[in-house]
Structure 1
Amino acid sequence: MLTEQINNKTQEVPLSIPVLGVTIGEDRWLIPMDAISEILPVPKITPVFLTHLWFLGIINVRGNIYGLCDLAHYLDKKTTRINAKTRVFLTDSHPGTGYAILAESVLGIRDLMEFTRQPDHEDERSVIADVYNDRQNRLWRKLNLPALVRLKSFLQASS
């Protein structure tokens, strides 16, 4: 909560936290917008041999190289089918450490305040920061991108 002085009264103003809603596999995910540098249609993928099936290859975005991950396959062994709705989101990273993640579809930018946090969720994977429900009681997982890019199994794409 942020406190703000209005008409000589201090009021608490909820912080707006923008997140991107996407589908990865059969699940709905929330990704903090400050972790995303760009969202784009799937560009040409250059395969890299002798890598895990979830590592689709590399993509070139305006001269910058990104490793492309099929997160659905990495997490659940379910391959994402690339179609007209499929998008790639680029992580906000340092030069030389670009990651791109495949999303089946983009559901739009949301405000995290629209969701109800589920503190007793049973999904203990380190890539899940929190679990939420929306107003229609649909389950959403918030991606912990920093935890994902630190996982040894994620960083070692070679098979």
Structure 2
Amino acid sequence: MSPVTPINKQMQEAPSSIPVLGITINENRWLIPMNDIGEILPVPKIAPVFLTYPWFLGVINVRGNIYGLSDLGHYLDKQPTRISAKTRIFLLASRLGKGYAILAENILGIRDLTEFTRQTETGHENKSPAITGMYNDRQNKRWRMLSLPTLVQLPSFLQASR
């Protein structure tokens, strides 16, 4: 067995680089691990589905595949997301299950999680198990970490019909 070299030791001690997508929904900033996102698209035509909760916006057709489109801001915070020219949808990675799309008011770009400081005090904002942490950026702005694998397993999220 060879001894650990200083370079290997530095690599073991350094925090791992995790790419995350920064988005906004209403006044909240969110971080989503990039490996949970399949694709980012402009908002297509939405076909409403009756007798569903207001946070379930309807279904969309992406290249012949049907996705259920959810408004995360409305689901978690009870505030509908404002739709504008900057609004995008993101499809969840296929390993999380097919057919899920989430509305994002604005895409802020890909960041590295090492740019953020995890907050130990979560306060009242961590109401959902899908929110796995609170982070601050270098300007001390607060960000929520969203776990899409957890979100798509929540019974309240899976049951969109009333």
Whether TM exceeds 0.5 here: the answer is yes
Counterpart of 1:12 in 2: which secondary structure?
helix
| Residue identity matched to 2:46 | I
Structure 2 partner of 1:86:
87
| Residue identity matched to 2:134 | V
Give the deviation of 1:9 after TM superposition: 4.5
Structure 1 partner of 2:66:
65
Q: Does the aligned pair in 1 maintain the 2:116–2:136 contact within 8 Å?
A: yes
Counterpart of 1:113 in 2: which secondary structure?
helix
- 2 CA distance for matches of 1:72 and 1:133? 20
Counterpart of 2:66 in 1: which secondary structure?
strand
Pairing partner for 1:131 from 134, 139, 156:
134
Q: Does the aligned pair in 1 maintain the 2:88–2:105 contact within 8 Å?
A: yes
- What is the aligned residue count? 154
- 2 CA distance for matches of 1:10 and 1:95? 34
- 1 CA distance for matches of 2:18 and 2:96? 26
- 2 CA distance for matches of 1:79 and 1:95? 24
Structure 2 partner of 1:26:
27
Pairing partner for 1:10 from 5, 8, 11:
8
| Residue identity matched to 2:38 | S
Give the deviation of 1:83 after TM superposition: 0.8
| Residue identity matched to 2:9 | Q
Mapping of residues 89-128 of structure 1, within 5 Å: 89-94=90-95, 97-122=98-123, 123-128=126-131
Q: Is the counterpart of residue 146 in structure 1 residue 149 in structure 2?
A: yes
Counterpart of 1:81 in 2: which secondary structure?
coil
Which is richer in helix?
Answer: 2
Deviation string for 1:21-42 (max 9, x for gaps)? 0001210000000000000110
TM-align CA RMSD: 1.7
Which is richer in strand?
Answer: 1
Deviation string for 1:98-121 (max 9, x for gaps)? 210001000000000000001221
Q: Measured at CA, do residues 9 and 127 of structure 1 come closer, stay the same or move farther in structure 2, by a change above 3 Å?
A: closer
- 1 CA distance for matches of 2:85 and 2:121? 36
TM, length-normalised to structure 1:
0.90
Q: Measured at CA, do residues 16 and 102 of structure 1 come closer, stay the same or move farther in structure 2, by a change above 3 Å?
A: same
TM, length-normalised to structure 2:
0.89
